[in-house]
Amino acid sequence: METASHIWSDGEFVPWDDANVHFLSHAMQYGTGVFEGIRAYNTPEGTAVFRLRDHMIRLEASARAYNIPMRWSVEQWEAACLELLRHTGLESAYIRPQIFYGVGSIGINPANNEVRAMMAAFPWGAYLGDDAAEKGVSTMVSSWRRISHTSLIPTAKGSGGYLNSVLAKQEALAAGQDEAIMLNDSGSVSEGSGMNLFVVSQGIVYTPPVSSGILEGITRNSVIDLLHGDGVEVREVDLVRGALYAGDEMFLTGTAAEVTPIRSVDGRQVGDGSRGAVTKKAQELFSAAVAGKLDEYRHWLEFV
């Protein structure tokens, strides 16, 4: 990965190589952390963070869900993020804040452990490869089911939960596919290993609801608003596996993946195998929004 000069650590800037964490940190042992993934874009008017407030609100919600004291307010996290971007001088960046339990005790109960707050910003290009935005990615339905509402909290971005995503991603790569699609315990479609899923069928856009076990993506919600604002009908409905084979177009959304077309599922070509018109529209609207070119959505940008 590309690095940056400094990392924000509990309110201070430390050199990138010194942002270390003790081996016996609770989060290291048990995954007791919550985090975010945010992007800052280099727009014609300078660097802007996309939906910074919404990401920090989700960070706070994740922390509350997993009983991790927030320590810093949403506003303080926002200010620290902007300060980090100024301090590192990055024009565009992927930003990773995390709140987690550090050292204290090694037992399961983290209540007496220190709570750490750290945030990195660094350059990161296209998550699913440079060609993916145009040519799309290959996918398979994973044998791993998405974490359920009865054993973890899929709506929260909890570190430990990502073991589930890692299993699905590794399985997909081992099978020669780019990305995994996970079903939930009921067999309905949920999402990718780190992105939400959309299916386009006869001009209508479908995406699984929050009850399906998804993380409610900020890119997902942005794309729903953008398409809706452009007169495209978007429905949040339970999708069966067969819907993945019947769709005319499919795409993934996420902060890292942005809007990425899917060209195949389980060896079956999606549509004619090339990027569809609705997918292209979603990409164009999203690119315009993050570049500050859509007046209606300028409030999504926080300029550094």
**Interacting residues with ligand PMP (CB under 6 A):** 37, 165, 191, 194-196, 215, 217-220, 253-255
- Cβ 218 to ligand PMP shortest distance, Å: 4
CA distance 188 to 168: 16
- Cβ 18 to ligand PMP shortest distance, Å: 27
- Cβ 161 to ligand PMP shortest distance, Å: 8
Q: Token pair for residue 81?
A: 């993020």
Q: Which is nearer to ligand PMP, 4 or 224 (CB)?
A: 224
157 part of the active site: yes
| Strand 258-265 to 249-254 pairing | antiparallel
Q: Which is nearer to ligand PMP, 257 or 271 (CB)?
A: 257
Element (H, E) at 74: helix 74-88
Q: Token pair for residue 6?
A: 């400094």
- Cβ 204 to ligand PMP shortest distance, Å: 21
Q: Which is nearer to ligand PMP, 72 or 94 (CB)?
A: 94
For residue 240, what are the CA distances in angstroms to 136, 247, 250, 274? Answer: 22, 11, 14, 23
The set of residues, in sequence order, having a beta carbon less than 8 Å from that of 284 and lying 6+ positions away, is none
Contacts by residues 170-173 (CB-CB < 8 Å, ≥ 24 positions apart): 171/140, 171/142, 171/143, 171/144, 172/139, 172/140, 172/142
Amino acid at 187: G
Sign of CA dihedral 288, 281, 127, 296: positive
Which residue is catalytic, options 157, 169, 280, 293?
157
Q: Beta partners for 196? A: 253
CA distance 275 to 203: 14
Q: Beta partners for 13? A: 8
CA 191 to chain centre: 11
Q: Which is nearer to ligand PMP, 102 or 251 (CB)?
A: 251
CA triple 95-99-102, angle to 5 deg: 130
Q: Which is nearer to ligand PMP, 195 or 271 (CB)?
A: 195
- Cβ 83 to ligand PMP shortest distance, Å: 22
Residue at shortest CB range from ligand PMP: 217
- Cβ 254 to ligand PMP shortest distance, Å: 4
For 16-161, list the strands marked E by DSSP. Answer: 33-35, 38-43, 46-50, 93-101, 115-122, 137-141
Q: Which is nearer to ligand PMP, 177 or 255 (CB)?
A: 255
Catalytic positions are 157
